[in-house]
Structure 1
Amino acid sequence: MFVRIVKMRFQEDKIDLFLTNFNQVKEKIRGFEGNAFLELYQDKNDPRIFFTYSYWQTEENLENYRNSVLFKEVWNYTKKLFSDKPEAWSVDKIASLI
């Protein structure tokens, strides 16, 4: 399992559009085969910055999602709202304390 982190900066007047859309698709993303976890964070100092954290069973699962109709619809809508280029990382979790 690995973690996919995506940092997105939105146009200030588009934040509500992003959040509305995210709330409409979050269950579908979370329910996608191989997705084990999904969270959305908002930066405390810059409310235009959001991060998604998603856990994937395999890289193939993430690639299947990235090639899906669902991802294409979500991404095509979301990228129009950006004020800056998004950044993404795929990382292995080394430790987790709960």
Structure 2
Amino acid sequence: MLIRIVRMTFQADKTEEFLEIFRTSKEKIRAFEGCNHVELLQDLNHPNIYSTYSLWDSEVHLNNYRDSELFGQVWKATKALFADKPQAWSNVQVAV
């Protein structure tokens, strides 16, 4: 299982626009082959900072999504609203 976290800082006056993009695309992302979960988190102290937390079957599935038309549309609209460069991490669960 691959965990993908993407932290995004938005222009303060563009957060509602981003939330609408997320609302209209989240089910399509969740339905993408290999995606098991997607959720949106908001920073406690900075209301214009959001993170997506998603679970993927593998890096191949994540990359297939990132190469898709859906991602191209969602990311293009989303990145136009950024106030700062996004940060992304890919992690795998460790059984201890």
Give the alignment's TM-score, normalised by structure 1: 0.94
* Number of aligned residues: 95
Instruction: State the Cα distance separating 1:2 from its structure 2 match.
Output: 1.1
> What residue is the counterpart of 1:27 in the other structure?
27
* Letter of the 1:65 counterpart: Y
Correspondence 1:11 to 2:40: no
| Structure-2 separation of matches of 1:93 and 1:12 | 33
- In the alignment, which residue of structure 1 is the partner of 2:52? 52
Which amino acid letter does the alignment assign opposite residue 3 of structure 2? V
SS across alignment from 1:33: coil
| Structure 1 segments of 4+ aligned residues over 6 angstroms from their partners | none
Unmatched runs of 5 consecutive residues or more in structure 2: none
Shift of 1:7: 0.2
Partner of 2:68: 68
Structure 1: gaps of 5 or more residues: none
* Secondary structure, aligned partner of 1:81: coil
Give the Cα separation in 1 of the matches to 2:87 and 2:39: 16
Report the Cα distance in structure 1 between the residues aligned to 2:47 and 2:83, rounded to whole angstroms. 12
CA distance in 2, matches of 1:25, 1:42: 17
SS of 1:44 mapped into structure 2: coil
Deviation, 1:94, is 2.7
